[in-house]
Structure 1
Amino acid sequence: MKREWMDILHHEKVATDTYQMVLNGDIPGSGIRPGQFVHILVDDNFFLRRPISIADVDEQAGTLTILYKVLGKGTKSLTAKQQGDKLDVLGPGGNGFPMEELKTKRALLIGGGIGVPPLHYLGRQLVEQGIEVISVLGFQSKEYIFFEKQFNELGEVYVATNDGSYGHHGFVTDILPGLEGRFDTYFSCGPAVMLKAVSKELTGYDGYLSIEERMGCGVGACFACVVPTPESDAKGYRKICRDGPVFKPEEVVL
């Protein structure tokens, strides 16, 4: 991981409690893989950094795009940052999706809420490899929806909202039975309860889960972000920041 003061080129609100920020610097040239994250120090008033998934990368322009949701004082303070300000950024962190190992021709992307952004960069990379992409995106309501247009540029898109204010009334898992046989591998990111439901619904398919979790150090030195595994011994945990955030469904217990 590399630490750098990155310039804010663009910062805007894109949905309820959700913001998009474009940063410029050298980190985008670090060979970022879809699914990795950056660890941002908001300012000196906050001791811990905030992990934020990477939604897009332009290595030639030296930019990376992130989207974050206001969840507390730290992310609320981040909304005050403006174009021209600098951010203390550490990254890229974690292990992303194993792009070199994929042997799929048709991919299904399943995102929930702020778990949607990393799937956009993944989708772009898959399309560039000639892989067909179908996306299923879930949000609380119409006011929380973002990046629908960007995913439509990648392929077919289905949107579900909890309250039925847009798209399918219900959850992303409601849509999955209708897509049986139309994909080889699935990739999902979102709340643990959603990931658990998705992996149960898609048993028998090859898949990858990207786990959202609060982090402490972000480099594997602490145990603030662990997930249990099927192993019963002392090694029965994985650190999401270092070993993940991407795992095979059979590697973790949600």
Structure 2
Amino acid sequence: MINKQMMTIVAKDDIAKDTIEMKLLGSVNLNSAEPGQFVHINVGNSTSNMLRRPISIADVNKDQQTITIIFKVIGSGTDQLRKCVIGDDLDVLVPCGKGYPIDNLPATRALLIGGGIGVPPLYYLAKQLHEKGVEVTSILGFQTKDNVFYHSEFEEFGSCHIVTDDGSYGFKGYVTDVLDNENIDFDYFFSCGPTGMLKAVSNKLEHKKGYISIEQRMGCGIGACYACVVPTNDQSGGFKKICKDGPVFRVNEVVL
């Protein structure tokens, strides 16, 4: 159930180039929060940045009633959010969308593949899978070493391969290159990142079971405005709403 509430910034750090980590404290019950869900934050006022910004949930502390978000500053909205300080209150819809369905997943080994700002939701997923006794391997792609974050955090849950476009940190190339060079066994894969990366991963692993999470600009964030629809990959000719039916989908469920 989506809740609208004021959440207070209780921690804030720059963790990579133009990349901010924030911890938000609220009163909402977070027991139902799933890996892969997002928050929809009001970052503007009546005259600027009127649309909320969807930001993935990177971690949840249910005992402390806090969520951690990580966002990259790429426009006026996220720049305004970056200027917020500890103690500021944010108008937040939480938790939004559907996450990765892992409660009854018949998997003992999982592969997580993330690119750029698609990495944060995979951290909470890795944490939850690890707690369930699932062996986790991660492949994370970034532009350069200046953009890399959470390497050691992911290593707490299993093997973690870092890829950069220029080879300044870890492997040089694409996340799919690691699949070619490393013998990784897994039952399911989970991926989040740019559309081009998701296409490449889905094609590479077309015979594997998995889930993808789509990054998308949104309007309402609750499925009312039809601003973030994506066509389904079946004969119905229908559409799915990324903000409500997703952002997580079965691989090949929708057309990328």
Alignment TM-score, normalising by the size of structure 1: 0.97
Q: Give, in angstroms, the shift of residue 204 of structure 1.
A: 1.1
The one of 218, 223, 248 aligned to 2:250: 248
Paired letter, 1:116 = V
The whole-number CA distance in structure 1 between the counterparts of 2:171 and 2:184 is 20
Q: Give, in angstroms, the shift of residue 249 of structure 1.
A: 1.3
Extract unaligned runs of 5+ from structure 1: none
Structure-1 residue corresponding to 2:139: 136
Q: Give, in angstroms, the shift of residue 101 of structure 1.
A: 3.1
Paired letter, 1:243 = D
Structure-2 residue corresponding to 1:14: 15
The whole-number CA distance in structure 1 between the counterparts of 2:6 and 2:31 is 15
Alignment TM-score, normalising by the size of structure 2: 0.96
Q: Give, in angstroms, the shift of residue 50 of structure 1.
A: 0.2
The whole-number CA distance in structure 2 between the counterparts of 1:179 and 1:43 is 45
Task: Please give the root-mean-square deviation of Cα atoms over the aligned residues, in Å.
Answer: 1.2
- Give the alignment of 1:14-93 within 5 angstroms: 14-27=15-28, 29-44=30-45, 45-93=48-96
C-alpha contact 1:109 1:133 (8 A) present in aligned 2: yes
- Give the alignment of 1:1-254 within 5 angstroms: 1-27=2-28, 29-44=30-45, 45-180=48-183, 182-234=185-237, 236-254=238-256
Q: Give, in angstroms, the shift of residue 43 of structure 1.
A: 2.9
The whole-number CA distance in structure 1 between the counterparts of 2:49 and 2:65 is 27
1:181-223 deviation digits (Å, cap 9, x = unpaired): 5111100000011000001111211100000000000000112
C-alpha contact 1:40 1:51 (8 A) present in aligned 2: yes
Q: Give, in angstroms, the shift of residue 46 of structure 1.
A: 2.1
SS of the residue corresponding to residue 199 of structure 1 reads helix
The number of aligned residues is 253
Q: Give, in angstroms, the shift of residue 231 of structure 1.
A: 3.1
Question: Measured at CA, do residues 124 and 175 of structure 1 come closer, stay the same or move farther in structure 2, by a change above 3 Å?
Answer: same
Q: Give, in angstroms, the shift of residue 11 of structure 1.
A: 1.0
Q: Percent identity?
A: 53
SS of the residue corresponding to residue 103 of structure 2 reads helix
